Amino acid sequence: MTPHKGIGGIQTPEWWVVQFARLAEEGFFAGEPDAPLAIRLHREAVERGDETTEWEWVAEMYERVSRGKPPVTETEYDELKTWYLRHDMRGVSNVNIRDALINCYSRGRRRMGVTDTVEKLRALRAEHPELQ
Classify residue 47 by burial, with Cβ atoms within 10 Å: 0-12, 13-18, 19+: exposed
For the chain, where are the alpha helices, taking DSSP H only? 13-25, 35-47, 55-66, 74-87, 95-107, 114-127
Amino acid identity for residue 5 in this structure = K
The dihedral formed by the CA atoms of 50, 100, 79 and 124, expressed in degrees to the nearest 10: 150
Per-residue pLDDT tens digits of the chain, which is 132 residues long = 444 555 767 888 999 999 999 999 999 999 999 999 999 999 999 999 987 768 899 999 999 999 999 999 999 999 998 888 888 767 677 767 777 777 655 556 788 888 988 998 899 899 888 887
- State the Cα–Cα distance between residues 101 and 120, nearest whole angstrom: 11
- State the Cα–Cα distance between residues 109 and 74, nearest whole angstrom: 7
* pTM across the whole model: 0.83
Q: Is 32 left (phi over 0), alpha (psi -120 to 50) or beta?
A: beta
Domain ranges of the chain: 13-66, 74-127
The DSSP line for 63-90 is HHHHTTPPP--HHHHHHHHHHHHHHTTT
